[in-house]
Amino acid sequence: MGVLAALVLLAGLALAAGKGVYLLGALGFVVALLLSVTLHEAGHFLTARHYGMKATQFFVGFGPTLWSRRTGETEWGVKAIPAGGFVKIVGMTPLEDVAPEDESRVFYKAPVRQKVVVLAAGSTVHFVLAGLVLFGGSYLIGAPEEQAPAVGAVARCIAPDRIGVEDLATDTDPCTLPGSLPAPATAAGLRVGEVVTAVDGEPVSSSLELTTALRAAGSRPVELTLERDDAARTVSLTPATLQRFARTETGVDPDRLEPVGTIGIQVQPRVDTERLGLAASLDQTRDLVVLQLEGIKTTVTTKLGSITKVYSEDRDPAGFVGIVGVGRISGEVIESEETAGVKALTFVSIVAGLNLFVGLFNLLPLLPLDGGHIAVAVYEGARDRIRRLRGYRGPFQRVDYAKLAPLTYGVAGFFFLFTVVLLGADIVNPIRISQ
């Protein structure tokens, strides 16, 4: 009951601090996580029962039992620590004591194919969930689509870029820099929050289009069509031509300058969602799955070294993050100023990414993970087949789990330490999507 009391207290503090929306996102992630865990264990449970194995327990969480009930031969319940779940299948290894009446239903005596199906069922559920969540988001919400940009900020002065000086302090006054000029946007009366819908009558549908049009205008007068609160107006102004860093297909080239038009505004991208048809939703789901898998691959390969910096000021925002960190990010997503559709799609992507990662992680061929048990089962089956091809006619030989115990404990200890390190970092040095 202590965990529940802590959650209630946390919720009360968040609401009192005006963080109700943030709390909604964080708790939404927790609910999605627990639902995923429950369905993962349901995959093991249902396939085990399908093959006649005996499952005596089905619990969400670990530690002290908060609630349970028994139906038939299975005890169902919830435990105090919401950090996973488990299904107790009789005879997962030959080391367990098994009642005589259950000998015919133990897991380790099942055919290799059946054991692999039961063990892989949890990860399979995660993969199916990820696909369904992404498809549901694509079909019901749509795809992110950039809209006409807004004026994010209006400067008093503008100044040319200088090679070798890429970043200026945020408190630097542009009016004090060499070659500075009064900003045309200020003189024309542009206001923060106005949406730029057209330049010289040509519609603008992205921040890149607006920036490109203004840079290309040089010192030629332009006419901007602006909207705010459903009211439209037209403003005429003349950009100033300044030396700016050249733009390339991959970004900005800090070693090359070019004369371009500038008016002294910060262009703020705006994104909303566009509904998709069935075929387009399927295509987007496929693309998102590939993108998520590539992201996971990058994180566990090129980002592996970032674990040493999780407590430093330069913690990699695209590096490893724990469950607490993901919950925090989910809260920030829901609390952000994006549209409801963009928030929902981002949240869906987080949930799908979590399921893909957990599904793949559980298939690693290391005990005590499901993949480790699968590796043992496949090894036992392959070894038995080779022996019988050589004339062996004795009983099926099981792997001695007692000899694997040190390796199992070592792997479990490493993952536990890794989890604790990330947990601490997510609390004292969190990754934030906004500052």
Instruction: List active site positions.
Output: 41
Between vectors from CA 61 to CA 59 and to CA 64, what angle results, nearest 5°?
90
User: Which is it for strands 181-182 and 195-199: parallel, antiparallel or unpaired?
Assistant: unpaired
What's the token pair of residue 286?
A: 């496929």
Whether the CB-CB separation of 55 and 71 falls below 8 Å is answered with no
Residues ≥6 apart with Cβ < 8 Å to 46:
121
Paired with 272 in beta bridges are 145
Residues ≥6 apart with Cβ < 8 Å to 89:
44, 48, 53, 54, 55, 56, 107, 118
Q: Is 313 helix (H, G, I), strand (E, B) or coil?
A: coil
- C-alpha to C-alpha distance for 27 and 170, rounded to whole angstroms: 35
Of the chain, the end-to-end C-alpha distance in Å amounts to 35
CA distances from 383 to 107, 112, 377 (A): 19, 12, 10
- DSSP 8-state assignment for residue 189: T
CA-atom Rg of the chain in angstroms: 29
- C-alpha to C-alpha distance for 331 and 23, rounded to whole angstroms: 6
The count of other CB atoms within 10 Å of the CB of residue 205 is 15
- C-alpha to C-alpha distance for 197 and 204, rounded to whole angstroms: 5
Q: Is the peptide bond before 406 cis (omega within 30 degrees of 0)?
A: no
Render the burial of 23-34: b for 16+ CB within 10 Å, e for the rest.
Answer: bebbbbbbebbb
